[in-house]
Amino acid sequence: MPGGSLAIIPGTLDVLILRAVAGTPRHGYGIVEFLREASNGTLTIVEGALYQALHRLEHQGYLTGSWGASENNRRAKYYGITSSGRRHLASEAVAWQRYSLAMNAVLGFA
């Protein structure tokens, strides 16, 4: 995609994370990789913010964390989505779509 990478818009990190682990549990680095690939390199995350968000989402009950062995046989904490996490993801995704459509509409007219 043309242009450099973009920073995450505040407020959207949560939904991105939830999407990242919706299919399969991932650890922190894995989430970074997924988002970079899925956005074709556009989105880069500040790692500090990522982990803060992960812990917060776990406390809120949207994610569950469990320790396991990573690909290279190291001890890593994997985050998976919960059912309330799925519900949250769904509603936030819908909201985001409506918002972005609205943005496009406004910008389109201007």
Which residues of the chain form contacts with other proteins (CB under 8 A)?
27-30, 33, 47-48, 51-52, 55-56, 59, 70-72, 74-77
Quote the crossing angle between the two packed helices 28-38 and 47-60, to the nearest 10°: 110
> Whole-number minimum distance, CB 1 to other proteins, in Å?
20
Q: How far is the CB of 107 from other proteins (least distance, A)?
A: 34
Q: Name which of 65 and 96 has its Cβ closer to other proteins.
A: 65
Give the contacts of 57 (CB within 8 A, at least 6 positions apart): 14, 17, 18, 63, 79, 85
Q: How far is the CB of 58 from other proteins (least distance, A)?
A: 9
Nearer to other proteins (CB atom), residue 33 or residue 104 = 33
Query: Least Å distance between CB 18 and other proteins?
Result: 18
Q: Closest CB to other proteins among 51 and 96?
A: 51
